[in-house]
Amino acid sequence: MALSILPGLGYIFLGWMHDVLWPALFWYLLILLLSGWGYGIYREFDLPNMSGPSLDRWYRKISSFFYLFFLLWLTIFLIYIWIDAHQLHYIAIFTEIGASVVAAAILYPDRLLYLPTLLILMTPLVIYFSMLGEWYGYVLSAFSATLTWVLFYTASSSQALLLKSHHQASHDQLTGLYNHYFLINYMQQQMNSLREVGGHSYLLLIDLDHFKTVNDSLGHDVGDQLLEEVSARLNGQLPQGDVIARLGGDEFIIIGEVSHDELQSRQRAIGLAERLLATLKETYVINEHHIYISASIGISLTTSKENDANRFIREADIAMYEAKAGGRDGVILFDEELSHRVESNLEIERLLHFALEKSEFDLHYQPQIDRAQKIIGAECLVRWNNEKLGFVSPAEFIPIAEQTGLIIELGNFILERAFKTLNEWQQQGIELKQFSINISMRQFIHHSFIETVHHLSEQYLNDELRKKLIFEVTESVVAEDLGRIVGIMRQLQALDIRFSMDDFGTGYSSLSYLKQLPIDEIKIDRSFVCELDTDKGDQAMIVTILNIAEIFGPDVVAEGVETAAQFDFLLKHNCEIFQGYYFSRPLPKGEFEQFYRQQ
């Protein structure tokens, strides 16, 4: 508009000097009216946040604006080209060439705009020169046609460069899929569209299971080829209207087409996810390697109520990690229940940071009983009572503490409190044969763990008390570097500390592990004991565990004993140590001391 309004005043001045004032004034009035309309278009649309329908309306209006503007410049050419008496036709010629250059420079991103505009502006000039009837007129006509081609070629080349740059900026170089940059913009446009017209869509976040193993074992070149094949398979299953992008690494996102029915959108998402799982699990043959992988998929349903693309990606990401935590090779839909659990976990994580300094943790002690129902030991169990949340189960806060690293500080607190209690009980005449403390695997392999145990044992324990200590680890210990784990155990055994394998039989149990690890005790998981009365399979499992222990030598503790029938069965099959609510619940320190004295 600035290139028209300000120079347009010069044409009015020329028109006043050469008796064409009224046509020039009328032309300038049209320029002002058209500029006002253009400014209205500028104010009407919020271009960065527009959705599909709004973009369509904007494009139609802005296209009409440009066509009309350059037609007006053609008009001023037609007005002045015939006034050769005062050589105004030279100004008209220059005007037409200048307008054509401006059109090629401004409109090059859109072929539907610059091609007809250049033809509209330059064709009259070519015709004018050819009508002069002189040889130089034909030469100028040829030059004008050549200039038209040059402008067209320049605009086309600029457009091609623009499209290439846009493709590189919006596509993943390896797979050719859209990338994260494009994805966010596309999703935001879809959110805006949903907000305007309503409807529902879905988002699938796909993460390959154990892809790092392929890279580490077969090399990154095989990994890259695998990603290309995965991309091709995902594209092959993509419904029409859906968009797929590579989020990064081995993560992919699919954005579904807008649907007006929420249930239909949900069913489409789940059905597509299940098809993708089946497709991705088919064998890959790459460089003579037969590769088998699976995927974990999180689904988030998008609606017109929210307008934050990153939030839906985050929800799908949470659902995907739930699928991984559930054993991988699965599909999880983000819903209200999962949202509530995530919010609850975030609140627990936030409050955990202040729990130690507020002294909200305490230890309870569950008695361990021998065959004569006499107390021979105790297991330390941490309890958290928060002023806002109330009592929080260890099953809720311990995994969060492990994920965030707070388990190190919490574990050190438990060790110190437990060691101090064991020392106090010896001074009070409370004699136990064993004293069990649960050790998180993250705490166990931490670089300062052995040093911390050394320091606390020297501060609170003597040689006799150290022999009573049993560190309980879960079967997940075998998922770590076995050589490193055995090394840590040997160093702690030098302090006379023994080891118990907790929850035996529920995860990674193997006879070879019992042989390799210096385990002094195994604990039969409560999930087997609680079904003893009704499930013959659990009865057989417990008998098998007791027979294995008899062969390999470790003591056996049956935890979760709650009925006389369970106790009798375990007695009959030569179990030696028992723990559970049939004898006592976990007790605070003072109540445990009272329970011991009553015994």
Do 162 and 216 share a domain, yes or no?
no
Q: H-type helices in 326-436, by residue range?
A: 336-355, 394-404, 406-427
Do 329 and 375 share a domain, yes or no?
no
Percent of the chain that is helix, strand, coil (3-state, to 5):
60, 15, 25
CB 179 within 8 A of CB 170: yes
Do 211 and 275 share a domain, yes or no?
yes
Do 483 and 561 share a domain, yes or no?
yes
> Which of 140, 170, 200 corresponds to the end of one domain?
170
Do 132 and 188 share a domain, yes or no?
no
> Which of 266, 300, 334 corresponds to the end of one domain?
334
Do 368 and 504 share a domain, yes or no?
yes
Q: Which domain holds residue 307?
A: 180-334
CATH of the domain at 542: 3.20.20.450
Do 449 and 320 share a domain, yes or no?
no
Q: Return the pLDDT at 51.
A: 67
Q: Residue 110 burial by CB count (10 A; 0-12/13-18/19+): exposed, middle or buried? A: middle
Strands 284-286 and 289-291: what pairing?
Answer: antiparallel
Q: Closest by alpha carbon to 125, among 162, 80, 167?
A: 80
Do 206 and 236 share a domain, yes or no?
yes
Per-residue tokens: 156: 């086309």
Residue 354 falls inside a structural domain: no
Residue 231 falls inside a structural domain: yes
**Looking at residue 478, what DSSP letter applies?**
G
Per-residue tokens: 281: 């699990």
Residue 599 falls inside a structural domain: no
Residue-wise pLDDT tens for the chain (599 aa)? 777 777 777 767 776 776 777 777 888 888 899 988 999 988 888 777 676 677 888 999 999 999 998 998 888 788 777 766 556 677 778 888 988 999 999 999 999 999 999 999 999 989 988 888 888 889 989 999 999 999 999 999 999 999 999 999 999 999 999 998 888 888 877 887 777 777 888 999 999 998 988 888 888 999 999 999 999 999 999 999 899 999 888 999 999 988 888 888 899 999 999 999 999 999 999 988 999 999 999 999 887 666 677 888 888 998 998 898 788 899 999 988 888 888 888 899 899 989 989 999 999 999 999 999 999 999 999 999 999 999 999 989 998 898 888 999 999 999 999 999 999 999 999 999 999 999 998 899 999 999 999 999 999 999 999 999 999 988 776 666 778 888 999 999 999 999 998 877 665 555 666 777 888 999 888 888 887 776 677 788 888 888 888 888 889 999 999 999 999 999 998 899 999 999 999 999 999 999 999 98
**pLDDT, tens digit, for every residue of 361-388?**
999 999 999 999 999 999 999 999 999 9
> Which of 144, 170, 196 corresponds to the end of one domain?
170
- Structural domains counted in the chain: 3
CB 357 within 8 A of CB 340: no
Residue 414 falls inside a structural domain: yes
In 249-342, the DSSP E strands lie at 251-255, 284-286, 289-291, 295-303, 331-333
CATH of the domain at 186: 3.30.70.270
Residue 344 falls inside a structural domain: no
Residue 175 falls inside a structural domain: no
Q: Return the pLDDT at 479.
A: 63
Quickly tell me which residue has 């993509």 as its tokens.
238
Do 162 and 255 share a domain, yes or no?
no
CB 117 within 8 A of CB 66: yes
Do 133 and 231 share a domain, yes or no?
no
Do 469 and 426 share a domain, yes or no?
yes
Residue 340 falls inside a structural domain: no
Per-residue tokens: 364: 């309870």
Do 299 and 186 share a domain, yes or no?
yes
Quickly tell me which residue has 């136990």 as its tokens.
432
Q: Return the pLDDT at 453.
A: 95
Q: List phi, psi (to 5°) of 20.
A: -130, 40
For residue 587, give the H/E element and its range: strand 587-588
